[in-house]
Amino acid sequence: MNDPSAHILRDYGNFLRDSRRRSAHTIRAYLVAAERLTDFLRQHWGENADAKRIEQITSTDIRSYLAMRRGEGLTNRSTARELSAIKAFLRYILGEDAALPVMRAPKIHSTLPRPLSPEDAVNLADDIAKSAVKDWTGARDWAVLLILYGCGLRISEATGLLGSILPLDDSIRVTGKRGKTRIIPIIAPVREAIEHYLALCPYPPAPNKPLFRGARGGALSPAIIRRAVQGARKRLGLPDNATPHALRHSFATHLLAGGADLRSLQELLGHASLSSTQVYTAVDTAMLLDEYENAHPRA
């Protein structure tokens, strides 16, 4: 490799994986952003963007890069994500304690998570199960969606479960972002759905094999579940926010409405900070106000 930035990107990828323990998805996103930046700087400066040259980067350089990206159609939210990735890359180059060039993120109007009602969540899972070509894949999809709603897992966490969680008890150990593990209670309907799927699945479970299998026996792709949800959403006339991740939002919102405290909810969701969990208090309040306006005779 004659391009010095190629060495930087390779080492940066190893750093994200080994030292920061980032997920494969995050590593790809950060490396793509870093590669875009180094390619731009090479043209912008008219010379190689090696580590020593990148150490001299200025706020003007970054503004020029972001202007180029905005010209390609980047939204405020996407620009903010790109800026976050750039900061992570520059901290790697300059050092954690080094002062970074001033980078102002665009304003983003915060949006609340949009959960589904319990009825819509169950109807969604039921429609997908009944629309499946084979009984065992229908049982699988039902179990996956029920574990998203009943346990609050991310879809990648659900499809990443291994047969080592068997036999099922009252809880499972889940590995989430940055390799962190947490213990999640399993309610009876979720346990029964998984056991029904296993009884029909043509591929026997094994501790080191995926719990949820694809048609050929490999790991179930999250994209298959997303496509199934998209089809069911259209058939049922549900809004665009009826996604697999909305089931996780529903889990959190309904638990909070039922009296769960924020700290317990934070642990169940695997949030690194309480601020990520606190957004559900606003969701719960918004839902109560909506119910009030619809039901109160003087509203």
pLDDT tens for each residue of 79-135: 888 888 899 999 999 888 888 887 777 665 555 556 777 788 888 888 998 888 899
Residue 252 vs residue 11, higher pLDDT: 11
Give me the pLDDT at residue 109, please: 53
- 16 near 27, Cβ under 8 Å? yes
Question: Quick one: pLDDT at residue 285?
Answer: 46
Both tokens of 77, joined, read: 């939210």
Q: Coil, strand, or helix at residue 256?
A: helix
3-state DSSP assignment of residue 115: coil
Are 243 and 229 in contact, with CB atoms under 8 Å apart? yes
**Residue 108 confidence (pLDDT):** 55
Which is catalytic among the residues 182, 213, 233, 248? 248
Which of 36, 44, 209, 245 does the annotation list as catalytic? 245
pTM: 0.59
CA 144 to chain centre: 16
Single-letter amino acid, residue 188: A
| Helix, strand, coil fractions of the chain, as percent rounded to 5 | 65, 5, 35
Number of other residues whose CB lies within 10 A of the CB of residue 258: 7
Q: Kindly name the residue from 22, 69, 213, 271 that is annotated as catalytic.
A: 271
CB 156 within 8 A of CB 24: no
Residue recorded with tokens 């590593």: 27
134: CB partners within 8 A, 6+ apart: none
Q: What is the pLDDT of residue 289?
A: 42
Taking only the tens place, the pLDDT of each residue in 12-38 is 999 998 888 887 878 888 999 999 999
Question: Is 177 in the active site?
Answer: yes
pLDDT score for 279: 60
| Catalytic residue check, 245 | yes
d(CA 140, CA 211): 10
Res 262: pLDDT: 67
In the DSSP assignment, the letter for residue 116 is P
Query: Given a cut of 80, is residue 1 above it in pLDDT?
Result: no
Q: What is the pLDDT of residue 263?
A: 73
Q: What pLDDT shows up at residue 133?
A: 87
Q: How much is the pLDDT for 35?
A: 93
Q: Specify the pLDDT at position 137.
A: 94
Q: Which of 16-20, 54-58, 238-242, 288-292 has the lowest mean pLDDT?
A: 288-292
Catalytic residue (one of 63, 81, 177, 226):
177
To the query of whether residue 271 is one of the catalytic residues in this protein, the response is yes
Higher confidence at residue 171 or residue 114? 171
Catalytic annotation, pick one of 154, 182, 213, 254:
154
Q: For residue 205, which amino acid is it?
A: P
Q: Which two tokens stand for residue 97?
A: 């304690």
- What's the rounded Cα separation, in Å, for the pair 175 and 165? 11
Check residue 113 and give its pLDDT: 52
193-223 pLDDT, tens digit per residue, is 999 999 999 999 999 999 999 999 999 999 9
E strands, the chain, in order = 171-175, 181-185
Q: What is the pLDDT of residues 222-247, one digit of tens each?
A: 999 999 999 998 888 887 878 888 88
CA distance 215 to 181: 28
Q: Is the peptide bond before 167 cis (omega within 30 degrees of 0)?
A: yes
**pLDDT reading at 268 higher than 70:** yes
Determine whether 280 is an active site residue: yes
- Average of per-residue pLDDT values in the chain: 82
